Amino acid sequence: MRRKLAAGNWKMNGTSADLGQIEALAAAHSGAISEIMIAPPHTLLHRASEFTKTGPITLGAQDCHKRESGAHTGDISADMLLDAGASYVILGHSERRTEHDEHDEDVRGKARAALKAGLRVIICMGEELEEREADNTLDIIGGQLAGSIPDDISGETLVVAYEPIWAIGTGKVPTIAQISEVHDFIRARLAKRFGPQVARSIRLLYGGSVKPANAAEIFAVDNVDGALVGGASLTAQDFSPIIAALDAS
């Protein structure tokens, strides 16, 4: 049985003044059925861990380097994230792929480093609007799945997030049929590569403009095991109803 996951990606938002949001979420969801993950900026990880040592929330980071240590100014290793309190790392987010020119092989290298350090990985993938309009979505997702995910994963350590790039931060959301088609496709491709038992245990998240108003409908889709949420994860007020909808699904 896959445990549902509500994952919040704070991106480049948040200072110590925002730690209260994590504290409030932890208090509001002490009995959560779903797992809750917040990925604040690296600067807040250690302090946020004060509110996540016990309780329903786990911490994630938003990127890591593929090397364990060394001369990589400004970068951060998987070991450092673990040391700061993270148990997950988000990899291959479209903003990393676009703004930092990350390709599938970079994501795979980072994922290997993260798994070696003992982190779980949330590997993101999604199509551009032109790719969807040209009916290439499944080809794009198939390529990203094959290229970004290393071989040595398990249902415990891998989460896949389907995030259509045109839906991130735009308020646009694919139809339920489109979400369903891609999630079914991802599950089938994972089964082909890792076997049906492992594939059944991997959680698949939908990401892209998930809000309190649309969460329940999205969570009712087969093969959607939760969400990766950007903007609506920044405050407990917005994220809380999304977690409640996931618990109720």
Positions annotated as catalytic residues are 93, 163
Q: Distance of CA 162 to CAs 22, 63, 132, Å?
A: 25, 17, 13
Distance CA 186, CA 191 (A): 9
Closer residue to ligand PEP, CB minimum distance, 232 or 245: 232
Return all residues near 3 (Cβ < 8 A) that are at least 6 apart: 34, 35, 203
Distance CA 127, CA 165 (A): 6
Distance CA 162, CA 231 (A): 16
Q: Convert residues 5-24 into a mask of x (bound to ligand PEP by CB under 6 A) and - (unbound).
A: ----x---------------
Taking CB under 6 A as the binding criterion, the range among 131-139, 149-157, 163-171, 176-184 that sits at the site for ligand PEP is 163-171
Closer residue to ligand PEP, CB minimum distance, 63 or 79: 63
* By CB under 6 A, residue 230 contacts ligand PEP: yes
* By CB under 6 A, residue 182 contacts ligand PEP: no
Closer residue to ligand PEP, CB minimum distance, 233 or 249: 233
Which one of 229, 242, 244, 245 is in contact with ligand PEP (CB under 6 A)? 229
For residue 60, the minimal CB distance to ligand PEP (Å) is: 12
Pairing of strands 5-9, 226-229: parallel
* By CB under 6 A, residue 228 contacts ligand PEP: yes
* By CB under 6 A, residue 207 contacts ligand PEP: yes
Closer residue to ligand PEP, CB minimum distance, 150 or 231: 231
How many CB atoms within 10 Å of residue 109?
Answer: 18
Closer residue to ligand PEP, CB minimum distance, 145 or 218: 218
* CA atoms lying within 13 Å on the CB side of residue 75: 15
In the range 59-88, which residues lie near ligand PEP by CB under 6 A?
Answer: none
* By CB under 6 A, residue 144 contacts ligand PEP: no
For residue 94, the minimal CB distance to ligand PEP (Å) is: 8
Site for ligand PEP (CB under 6 A): how many residues? 13
Helix (H) or strand (E) holding 27: helix 19-28
Taking CB under 6 A as the binding criterion, the range among 21-29, 65-73, 99-107, 227-235 that sits at the site for ligand PEP is 227-235
Say which DSSP state 171 is in. Answer: S
Asked if 131 and 141 touch (Cβ cutoff 8 Å), the reply is no
Phi, psi (rounded to 5 degrees) for 13: -135, 145
Query: Can you tell me whether residue 158 is helix, strand or coil?
Result: strand
**For binding to ligand PEP (CB under 6 A), which residues are involved?**
9, 163, 168-169, 207-210, 228-232
